[in-house]
Amino acid sequence: MDGLMQNVPLTVDRIIDHAAAWHGAREVVSRDAAGHVSRSTYAAIHADARRVSNALAAAGIAPGDRIATMGWNSSRHLAAWYGAAGMGVVLHTLNPRLFLEQITYIVNHAGDRLLIADPSTADLVAQLLPQVPSIERVIFFCDRATLPHTDYPAIAFDDWIADKPAEFAWGGFDENAACGLCYTSGTTGNPKGVLYSHRSNYLHALMTLQRDALALSARDTVLLVVPMYHANAWGVVYSAPAVGAKLVLPGQRMDGESIYNLIEQEGVTYSAAVPTVWQMLLQYVQENGKRFSTLQRVTIGGSACPESIIRTFRDDYGVDVIQGWGMTETSPLGTVSVPNASVAAKPADEQMAYKLKQGRLLCGLEMKLVDDAGARLPHDGRTPGRLMVKGPTIASGYFGGDGGDVLDAEGFFDTGDVATIDGEGYMHITDRAKDVVKSGGEWISSIEIENIAMGHPSVANAAVVGIAHPKWDERPILLCQLLPGARADGDDLRAWLDGRIARWWMPDDVLFVDEIPLGPTGKIDKKAIRAGLTGYTLPFEVTR
């Protein structure tokens, strides 16, 4: 017997419809590359999104077609996002920080028909166009006055939609229809396309709005530092409009001063970004004696968060750090490190051990640990295994069939992470499967060593990689980037690590570098580190 409830498709156009109808005057603030701040509203973005739909339809773009955006966070980008999705077109977000060869491969693989790009990428677009025959037209996220001069035809976004009506019949398609396309960063092999559905995005928004997740509300002012081209913008492009939160979009400028100024100027209460952004912000406020007047909490994801960042935010500035975990294939949020009742009852210092973990599973998802043979492992907080996830916001395969069957016999997706799960349900990433250091048949967590090393007062960033060893298979070495003007040597770092890690985990060498290479999404690029260590040999043998 069926229930007697209305069958309303869960399509994301309903989210911006709701925002416009019930939070229409709520501000959406954008800052461009020159630092100019413009102000819009959900109602205005809703109207522009419908104009985008009409412009796409006039260009012959139909449901299921892919159009690409290559832009920073802005209200124009948000209008394009909803204008495409509302009519059933698949919005494909491109990362302008990728290599040209990667972008070329991704555009051709997706078969994108239009490209809407930030003016700052005009030269990159010029190099790209001869190699991507599917692109029929280029639009720039700008007005006519700031349209870049190019040798190829292009039009300003404002002109493109100016004469289009602000009415369009959205929806009318199945909630399982494709909505967005985002490619993995391609650290091994070619990038793979993750194809989100309207249903998965809608459910993900509801899941992230839980009190024990991002907990956004109509009273929040949200600074979306996470680029809209990265991992579905962490779903904030859906969750913020869904509750009517004021949305602040910072554009391209991500330095500490620029982020701080936006936080204070706009009264930001919540923000989300990768650890490197928060490191730059904290360095700026510490060096300049600044304080936060409105900021209450930040979510950190993308890579493990060092304890030093969590403590500095909490102890010096009264800001709560919420660590989250996810990946492009999980829409992306999967777990959030928010205390349950028993953890919340512990003293603050005892809670820190839990804040350093990636947290508890969102309702609607399943999670397990398995060994290399696929057998389930215990949730005892000690036994590491491959992290597997399952649920309505988890990828079931890659666009175009790349990678083949990616699910196990129970329908779980292999995240590629190695993790533990404790008795409280807290998941803790100990490494990426490809980055774990395998020494003498046992695993050494590169992430744990990195996070402890970054607690050293002279260290700005740290990375650990495994180096081949004739006896132990691999041994870890530590690379450190020091803070400006700071001094430290290998003995200082070994003394800092001594007693904080197992003795046999101690890095065999400590190298000091001018800069730890970061990938296009702000994560440490260990592929580049390993390439730079070609020919390197360990200086001595460690006896375990």
Q: Which is the catalytic residue, given 443, 496, 504, 527?
A: 443
At 474, is the pLDDT very low, low, confident or very high (cuts 50, 70, 90)?
Answer: confident
- In three-state secondary structure terms, 310 is helix
In-domain check, residue 99: yes
In-domain check, residue 6: no
At 131, is the pLDDT very low, low, confident or very high (cuts 50, 70, 90)?
Answer: very high
In-domain check, residue 216: no
For the chain, the distance separating the N- and C-terminal CA atoms, rounded to the nearest angstrom, is: 65
534: Cβ contacts below 8 Å, ≥ 6 apart: none
- In 295-384 the beta strands, taken as DSSP E runs, fall at 297-300, 320-326, 333-336, 360-361, 366-370
186: Cβ contacts below 8 Å, ≥ 6 apart: 98, 102, 192
256: Cβ contacts below 8 Å, ≥ 6 apart: 280, 281, 282, 283, 284, 285
Known catalytic membership, residue 329: yes
**What pLDDT sits at residue 541?**
52
- Element (DSSP H or E) covering residue 444: strand 442-444
Q: How far apart are CA 356 and CA 308, in angstroms?
A: 10
- Retrieve residue 370's tokens: 């398995």
Q: How far apart are CA 27 and CA 20, in angstroms?
A: 11
Known catalytic membership, residue 541: no
In-domain check, residue 353: no
Of 132-146, 221-235, 270-284, 439-453, the least confident: 439-453
Of 107-111, 212-216, 436-440, the least confident: 436-440
**What pLDDT sits at residue 188?**
55
Mean pLDDT of 145-174: 97
**What pLDDT sits at residue 540?**
61
User: Per-residue pLDDT tens for 216-256?
Assistant: 999 999 999 999 999 899 999 999 999 999 999 999 999 99
In-domain check, residue 502: yes
301: Cβ contacts below 8 Å, ≥ 6 apart: 234, 272, 274, 323, 324, 325, 326, 332, 333
**What pLDDT sits at residue 186?**
53
What CATH number is attached to the domain comprising 487?
Answer: 3.30.300.30
Q: Which is the catalytic residue, given 329, 355, 420, 521?
A: 329
- Domains in the chain: how many in total? 2
Of 99-103, 128-132, 163-167, 411-415, the least confident: 99-103
At 543, is the pLDDT very low, low, confident or very high (cuts 50, 70, 90)?
Answer: very low
At 412, is the pLDDT very low, low, confident or very high (cuts 50, 70, 90)?
Answer: very high
Alpha helices (runs of H) in 225-274, residue ranges in sequence order:
236-243, 256-266
In-domain check, residue 1: no
Strands 66-70 and 90-93, bridge-based pairing: parallel
**What pLDDT sits at residue 330?**
97
- The domain boundary, picked from 203, 238, 273, lies at 238
The pTM score is 0.86
Which residue range is the domain that position 100 belongs to? Answer: 13-25+35-211+226-238
Mean pLDDT of 4-28: 98
What residues does 512 pair with on adjacent strands? Answer: 480
Q: Which is the catalytic residue, given 184, 269, 328, 393?
A: 184
Measure Cα distances from 475 to 106, 416, 481, 530 in Å: 36, 21, 20, 13
Q: Under a CB-based contact definition with an 8 Å cutoff, are residues 443 and 431 in contact? A: yes
Smallest CA-to-CA distance from 94 within 24, 186, 17 is with 186
Instruction: Evaluate if residue 193 carries a pLDDT over 80.
Output: yes
Q: Under a CB-based contact definition with an 8 Å cutoff, are residues 207 and 15 in contact? A: no
| pLDDT, the chain, mean | 94
In-domain check, residue 293: no
Instruction: Evaluate if residue 544 carries a pLDDT over 50.
Output: no
Known catalytic membership, residue 278: no
Q: Under a CB-based contact definition with an 8 Å cutoff, are residues 293 and 264 in contact? A: yes
Greater confidence (540 vs 526) lies with 526
**What pLDDT sits at residue 397?**
97
What CATH number is attached to the domain comprising 194?
Answer: 3.40.50.12780
- Percent of the chain with pLDDT strictly greater than 90: 82
Please count the other Cβ atoms lying within 10 Å of the Cβ belonging to residue 124. Answer: 18
Known catalytic membership, residue 471: no
In-domain check, residue 354: no
Q: Which is the catalytic residue, given 287, 383, 410, 438?
A: 438
Q: How far apart are CA 204 and CA 328, in angstroms?
A: 13
Please count the other Cβ atoms lying within 10 Å of the Cβ belonging to residue 355. Answer: 22
Cα 127 to chain centroid, rounded:
27
Q: How far apart are CA 180 and CA 201, in angstroms?
A: 9
User: Per-residue pLDDT tens for 297-306?
Assistant: 999 987 778 8
Q: Under a CB-based contact definition with an 8 Å cutoff, are residues 69 and 93 in contact? A: yes
